[in-house]
Amino acid sequence: MLDLKPSKLAGCFEMQPKVFDDERGRFVKVFHEQAFTAQGLQTQFSEEYYSVSFRNVIRGLHFQLPPMDHVKVVYCVEGEVMDAVVDLRVGSPTFGQYALFELSATKANSIYIPKGMAHGFCVLSEQAIMVYKVSTVYSPTHDAGVLWNSVGIPWPTVDPVLSARDQGFPTLEQFESPFFYE
């Protein structure tokens, strides 16, 4: 019912749900509590939201600090993005490393991102709509990030469109992580 593909970052998975295509179109079951529970994944989510972004937009690398840190499930319902997840957990064998994923409406895949990881993406199509399901509510005082180009991610654009906020984050090297690998 839910195909989990581990990434090189412990606890971070690419998920492929069952997709039903027929002459009417497509039906995708993104979340199923029993399937998540069977895999040992978080099933309680407090907020869900989406973003609309255009080609060459990079959003990220975002996360929330404890105690408002959260598990995040992300997927693309329109277009295509290159998604990046960075391990920020002190003591992790992959601390400071990243995993890349291609998310698209066509593939209907998603990413399960555990606490202690930063997330960002670059839009490859003309437009992309990304959906985020998170286990804690947004908290402006706990909202944080690391600089998008400080991790060595090979972003697929030489001229990214970035927010002032995303350009002002500390580098990975400057960031003092409150996250610990368990």
Does residue 27 come out as left (phi exceeding 0), alpha (psi in the -120 to 50 range) or beta? beta
Between CA 84 and CA 97 the distance in angstroms is 10
Q: How many CB atoms lie within 10 A of CB 100?
A: 16
Q: Supply the DSSP string of 14-81, one letter for each residue.
A: EEEE-EEEETTEEEE----HHHHHHTT------EEEEEEEETTBEEEEEEE-TTS---EEEEEEESEE
d(CA 74, CA 153): 19
Torsion from C-alpha of 85, 89, 10, 133, nearest 10 degrees: -50
Neighbours of 88 (CB within 10 A): 24
Tokens representing 181 are 């690998």
What positions carry a catalytic annotation?
62, 132
